[in-house]
Chain A
């Protein structure tokens, strides 16, 4: 066990954890940030996506020791029900959720995409999200929500 200092959503936290602990478990269990989800722990599904220095990464596959001194942003860091991020608002407007378990990954991956490409085409959105799995078949609404957010910006 080691004392590890993290910067998450603009706040500095200090946690006791094994350095090899996946970031996902620290975010969820130590910081009670429930946005990122455990989907596979294997880097295959995207449910655990967070931003590391603004880039979408899979927090199940990043050891917590690797993010020391770096900026981590989770779904909670984008916005809240009281003050949603434009993408979160677009997902609400498109009702782009079924069970919603994959949606953290969809929003975090799209948020990273929109920073690089402010006006992505349907094809570009699909390509960017191709590594994020949704089992409920919400894909069409998800791409519509990302388009909506891009157009609103």
Chain B
């Protein structure tokens, strides 16, 4: 082992071994290695970048790659701005000891915010290195050029110095917030389909997920949680567990309960053998009336989210009024891999290898749980299974931390399927009411909407009040939800003269609630776009043309027209007159949203087949027009657009957490099914590139247009409005029955 590598592996607590041996050639930074702590002060340039004498660049990113390809895209941005070859750059992500806190990875901000911060750091670094080269080479900065990390004097190739020659002890300066950035017309890496650096390792088993990380003498734990919702521990009898070969100990602190064993299987068996008497739980509301319950809950505050003109007055004068209510069920992240974390507590220092999207804020959350100072806690990010928001990663991280602190030995906590599906946080329920008014010519003159959204409990813009399971079990009550900015996209995106949109923030949810991909926007856009379609129908207009007529934004029009063109959109008023075949009728629907009403534009056309007898809906094709500004890596964008679309077909048609008043009964893939290969459509995409425009996020926007497009396509096929996600066969049959008299009339 080389000396620098050995130094790299030395840590306060653990000597790290057990990393994968066949890491891809680029990956010099060993996965999970605990490097010496360094500055993470966001103002300091050394917080962001280090350059080796061998000219290798190490980038320290507080944003992490959640399996979306940002490890590659962010490296492209840095390599571009620094003028180095792409494969010179290595990313360290989400290690609280070496990376600056760039806020959680989410909210569609990794490229827009995270990438901009890294870009400024890289540009500052390049400028500083040019200054140094100018001094060293005795030339004016203007006479210097950079080529693949080598600074040369123009016209004199012999006078040159590489970044590695110039770096000395580091930068020791601040990031220049006003640094000149490279002109987009000079880009040679940004905008290119550079293959993702993680994929070769992921298709060969050489990649190290957090699940794959091992420490010497590591023990295995399983946590034991009540199947009865909210029940506390009355008594524990672990005699049977103790008889299991390889059993090490039970860990109990308050209501937190876990078993530790030498092997995973022994831990599983012990978790099944331990006898726990649970107390009474907290009763959950009846599931079949959940939306009534939700509307009746105390509201913490009501915000005016959008206001123009006088919507009530305009409604009173409308020639035609339309009213409808929409709902979106409780869903869950349902990650393919149950959450996992590895922790070690030694000499007062806690190190946790975690897949959390919020390692920096977890430092504070873990300090509260363990009683340790945040400075004694280090989180090292390793990828987990895709999380799409706050799934079980943070809870498992806390579980591992707590167990490690109790036993003083390295420990790996692997959640079981039921932990992830039933116990991880859920998206909150959602109800929305609309009334719209049209004038005699079919113009929308009034839009009146009320959204019942969950209150977001935020402290300093972080989820510090989130009730981690371990915190609750330790008797540390936390106020509530970290659900994201659910008001976003409640405001409608069309040019209507009189608008009143209010968001009513429901004070408490009944499940622990967290953000799930495109939080708030997906529910809001579903309802807004469904209702927009209802108005189009009332106005006897083609739904696509109706939208275009109410927009004054060329980029919005471009994505709509792109989706229409891909789909071969046939303009028509009223539902599809084609008779279909047998019980199967077909339709197409459109939906458009500008994410947050401020960034990425996306439109989708869905094509569906509806079985009028069974109520089964099949989405056969999705056509998507997408404009996220400057694309960093178009194929990476396409991957996210496809993924967002297909995942949301599943959410729209199938997904709904099931429960009884006593317990969550969605515990596995049969009780929380998701769409399979045989259920899914093909996705056709037109990506509109806007070189030189700001680069906006792509992980979340596509999801928001899918439910509306599908609902509107079902209407086109059948004349039935689906206003409650998911569109299960039962709900479709009910909607068909409700629509039948109207359609015949």
Binding site for B on A (CB under 8 A): 1, 17-18, 20-22, 25, 28-29, 32-42, 44-45, 47, 74-76, 78-82, 84, 88, 91-92, 95, 97-104, 107, 125-127, 129-143
**A84–B208 touching, CB < 8 Å:** no
**B200–A92 touching, CB < 8 Å:** yes
Check B565 for interface membership: any CB of A closer than 8 A. no
Contacts A/B (CB < 8 Å), 13 sampled: A20-B265, A25-B264, A34-B208, A34-B212, A44-B669, A74-B205, A98-B67, A99-B67, A101-B337, A103-B202, A130-B676, A136-B336, A136-B643
**B203–A134 touching, CB < 8 Å:** no
* Given contacts A1-B245, A92-B199, A97-B196, A44 and B22 within 8 Å (CB-CB): no
**B265–A100 touching, CB < 8 Å:** no
B 239-278 to A, binary, CB cutoff 8 A, 1 in contact else 0:
0000001100000000000000001111010000000000
- How many whole Å from B586's CB to the nearest CB in chain A? 19
* Given contacts A21-B265, A40-B668, A101-B337, A76 and B417 within 8 Å (CB-CB): no
**A100–B207 touching, CB < 8 Å:** yes
10 tightest A-B contacts by CB?
A99-B67, A35-B205, A137-B646, A99-B386, A100-B202, A137-B643, A101-B385, A34-B212, A137-B647, A44-B669
Check B204 for interface membership: any CB of A closer than 8 A. yes
B 415-447 to A, binary, CB cutoff 8 A, 1 in contact else 0:
011000000000000000000000000000000
A81 to B674, CA, bound (A): 31
**B203–A129 touching, CB < 8 Å:** no
**A136–B67 touching, CB < 8 Å:** yes
**A33–B385 touching, CB < 8 Å:** no
The B638-684 residues at the A interface (CB cut-off 8 A) are 639-640, 642-648, 650, 668-670, 674, 676-678, 680, 682-683
By the criterion of a CB under 8 Å from any partner CB, how many residues of chain B are at the interface?
Answer: 69
- How many whole Å from A142's CB to the nearest CB in chain B? 8
**A91–B195 touching, CB < 8 Å:** no
A25 to B266, CA, bound (A): 11
Residues of A within 8 A of B337 (CB): 37-39, 47, 101
- How many whole Å from A75's CB to the nearest CB in chain B? 4
A91 to B199, CA, bound (A): 8
- How many whole Å from B513's CB to the nearest CB in chain A? 20
Task: Using CB atoms, name the residue of chain A closest to B682.
Answer: A140
Task: Using CB atoms, name the residue of chain B closest to A129.
Answer: B677
Q: Which listed residue, B265, B338, B676, touches A25 by the CB 8 Å rule?
A: B265
**B642–A141 touching, CB < 8 Å:** yes
Check B211 for interface membership: any CB of A closer than 8 A. yes
**A140–B642 touching, CB < 8 Å:** yes
Residues of A within 8 A of B66 (CB): 99
Residues of B within 8 A of A101 (CB): 67, 209, 335-337, 384-386
Residues of A within 8 A of B220 (CB): 29
Residues of B within 8 A of A44 (CB): 417, 668-670
Task: Using CB atoms, name the residue of chain B closest to A128.
Answer: B677
**B669–A81 touching, CB < 8 Å:** no
**A92–B265 touching, CB < 8 Å:** no
Residues of A within 8 A of B650 (CB): 137
Check B238 for interface membership: any CB of A closer than 8 A. no
* Given contacts A104-B205, A130-B676, A81 and B385 within 8 Å (CB-CB): no
Residues of A within 8 A of B208 (CB): 34
